[in-house]
């Protein structure tokens, strides 16, 4: 088997990205003012089925703006899944509030809605639902619970551009949704973020906060303390070019995932994040789990790396990270801990060929088979 080098992710530029960027350079409109910012926002709002889309400089910033705009402050609590990227918890802490963790579902890997209500206290202000690895969280029971308790709900859709919950695209199904356009996402601006909402007042507040709190009708008048969280026209130009081809990107990633599923059926000891009937997921990453009896996950990843296959571990649960150990109560989180211990992501991007995917799965099967044989022999 001839060795290949296959990165875990790589951006693909198959549209007007270069032409739009050159237009920015030729026009000299390269900062946060320029026609591509407005075009990207309006096009992304249409894509999500949202009334408003507000661009910003990255996905973490998008979540932070959401927290500030919703009035989160010191002493408040926000319920988040423990299995997520650290930004979900960090933005709560940025506001002086405390993230309260819940475990996840064993199949979808998203927040277990049945475990939320027991975590609600007098200090609880809201819930962040994470559409993990592109699979939507189960929003209906969470939104119903939030309404009963007067809580906001934010969608962390950083990894889920175009995913659907019960035939509606995620992002504007709750109070507000936050997206990331980091270089490994389904569509990218290099760095960048977006907020989607149907709330007019909230959208205005997000725009005010994003732009240093400057009154849009009175230059250099700042009625509030804001942030410099704007997206550049250059980044928006790339984003618009990507968005015009978003269906191609999503279809290619779906094809990669379908091929993985077919090939991995022949590899014992492997399972993967499964789709729920109410969800149409996108494949930010195709993530798998090893059986408990298999070789240790980190050893498998290291041996795949030696064969030229780059992978990524599943996120560490928040309650295990040093900054958040004090926020974890006596609750146990067995599902998240098992997924994090045994799970990792295979190369997932639009440019992978059938030969690439065959190589990845052959390497995985080879590593698992070799170590199973060594284990039996020992």
| Same domain assignment for residues 293 and 266 | yes
Q: Could you report the per-residue pLDDT of 15-25, keeping only the tens digit for each?
A: 999 999 999 99
Residue 41 located in a structural domain: yes
| Same domain assignment for residues 216 and 101 | yes
Instruction: Give the total number of structural domains in the chain.
Output: 2
Strand partners for 20: none
Mean predicted confidence (pLDDT) in 214-221: 94
The span from the CA of 317 to the CA of 340, in Å, is: 7
Q: What is the DSSP letter of 279?
A: E
Task: Give the pTM.
Answer: 0.96
| Same domain assignment for residues 234 and 271 | no
pLDDT band at 295, cuts 50/70/90? confident
Report helix, strand or coil for 287: strand
pLDDT, residue 372, reads 65
pLDDT band at 193, cuts 50/70/90? very high
The span from the CA of 29 to the CA of 31, in Å, is: 6
Q: Which of 216, 244, 272 is the last residue of a domain?
A: 244
| Same domain assignment for residues 149 and 275 | no
pLDDT band at 124, cuts 50/70/90? very high
Question: Does residue 365 register a pLDDT over 80?
Answer: yes
Q: Which of 193, 210, 244 is the last residue of a domain?
A: 244
Residue 8 located in a structural domain: no
| Same domain assignment for residues 221 and 74 | yes
Mean predicted confidence (pLDDT) in 213-238: 96
Residues of the chain with pLDDT > 70, as a percent, come to 97
Closest by CA position to 94, among listed 66, 64, 130, 69 = 64
pLDDT, residue 2, reads 84
Q: Could you report the per-residue pLDDT of 45-65, keeping only the tens digit for each?
A: 999 999 999 999 999 999 999
Rounding to the nearest 10 degrees, give the CA dihedral for residues 311, 317, 321, 323. Answer: 130
Residue 7 located in a structural domain: no
Question: Does residue 294 register a pLDDT over 80?
Answer: no
Residue 10 located in a structural domain: no
| Same domain assignment for residues 209 and 106 | yes
Closest by CA position to 313, among listed 159, 160, 85, 112 = 85
Rounding to the nearest 10 degrees, give the CA dihedral for residues 347, 350, 352, 354. Answer: 110
Mean predicted confidence (pLDDT) in 226-254: 98
Question: Does residue 377 register a pLDDT over 70?
Answer: no
CATH number at residue 36: 3.40.640.10
pLDDT band at 326, cuts 50/70/90? confident
- Residue 233 lies in domain: 17-244
| Same domain assignment for residues 223 and 262 | no
Inter-CA distances, 289 with 37, 82, 216, 227, Å: 40, 18, 50, 40
Residue 12 located in a structural domain: no
Mean predicted confidence (pLDDT) in 297-325: 96
The span from the CA of 366 to the CA of 304, in Å, is: 9
Q: Beta strand pairing status for 343-346 and 124-130?
A: unpaired
| Same domain assignment for residues 272 and 155 | no
Is 78 exposed, middle or buried, given 0-12, 13-18 or 19+ CB atoms closer than 10 A?
Answer: buried
| Same domain assignment for residues 134 and 54 | yes
Mean predicted confidence (pLDDT) in 270-283: 95
Q: Mind telling me the catalytic residues? A: 185
Question: Does residue 327 register a pLDDT over 90?
Answer: no
| Same domain assignment for residues 208 and 85 | yes
| Same domain assignment for residues 270 and 190 | no
Q: Which of 188, 212, 244 is the last residue of a domain?
A: 244
Average pLDDT score over the chain:
95
| Same domain assignment for residues 28 and 130 | yes
pLDDT, residue 177, reads 98
Residue 104 located in a structural domain: yes
pLDDT band at 309, cuts 50/70/90? very high
Q: What is the DSSP letter of 293?
A: T
Q: What is the DSSP letter of 81?
A: E
Residue 11 located in a structural domain: no
Residue 187 located in a structural domain: yes
Question: Does residue 201 register a pLDDT over 60?
Answer: yes
């Amino acid at each position: 088997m001839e060795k290949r080098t296959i990165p875990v992710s790589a951006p693909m530029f198959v549209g007007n990205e270069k032409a739009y960027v050159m237009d920015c350079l030729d026009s000299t409109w390269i900062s946060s003012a320029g026609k591509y910012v407005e075009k990207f926002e309006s096009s992304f709002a249409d894509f999500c089925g949202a009334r408003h889309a507000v661009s910003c400089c990255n996905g973490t910033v998008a979540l932070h703006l959401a927290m500030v705009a919703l009035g989160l402050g010191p002493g408040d609590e926000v319920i988040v899944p423990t299995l997520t990227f650290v930004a979900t918890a960090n933005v709560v802490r940025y506001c002086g509030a405390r993230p309260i963790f819940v475990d996840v579902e064993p199949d979808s890997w998203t927040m277990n809605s049945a475990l939320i209500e027991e975590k609600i206290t007098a200090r609880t202000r809201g819930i962040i639902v994470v559409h993990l690895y592109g699979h939507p969280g189960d929003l209906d029971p969470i939104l119903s619970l939030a309404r009963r308790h007067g809580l906001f709900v934010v969608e962390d859709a950083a990894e889920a551009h175009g995913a659907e919950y019960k035939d509606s695209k995620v992002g504007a199904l709750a109070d507000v949704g936050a997206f990331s356009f980091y270089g490994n996402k389904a569509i990218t601006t290099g760095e960048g973020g977006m907020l989607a909402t149907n709330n007019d007042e909230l959208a205005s507040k997000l725009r005010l906060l994003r732009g240093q709190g400057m009154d849009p009708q009175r230059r250099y008048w700042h009625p509030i303390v804001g942030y410099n969280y704007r997206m550049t026209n250059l980044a928006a130009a790339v984003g618009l070019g990507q968005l015009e081809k978003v269906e191609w990107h999503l279809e290619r990633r779906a094809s990669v995932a379908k091929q993985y599923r077919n090939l991995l059926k022949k590899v014992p000891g492997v399972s993967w994040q499964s789709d729920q009937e109410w969800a149409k997921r996108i494949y930010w990453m195709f993530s798998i789990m090893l059986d408990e009896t298999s070789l240790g996950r980190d050893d498998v990843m290291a041996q795949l790396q030696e064969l030229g296959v780059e992978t990524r571990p599943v996120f560490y649960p928040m309650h295990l990270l040093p900054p958040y150990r004090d926020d974890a109560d006596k609750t146990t989180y067995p599902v998240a801990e098992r997924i994090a211990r045994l799970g990792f992501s295979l190369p997932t991007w639009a440019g992978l060929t059938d030969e690439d995917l065959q190589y990845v799965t052959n390497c995985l099967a080879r590593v698992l088979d070799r170590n199973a044989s060594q284990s039996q022999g020992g």
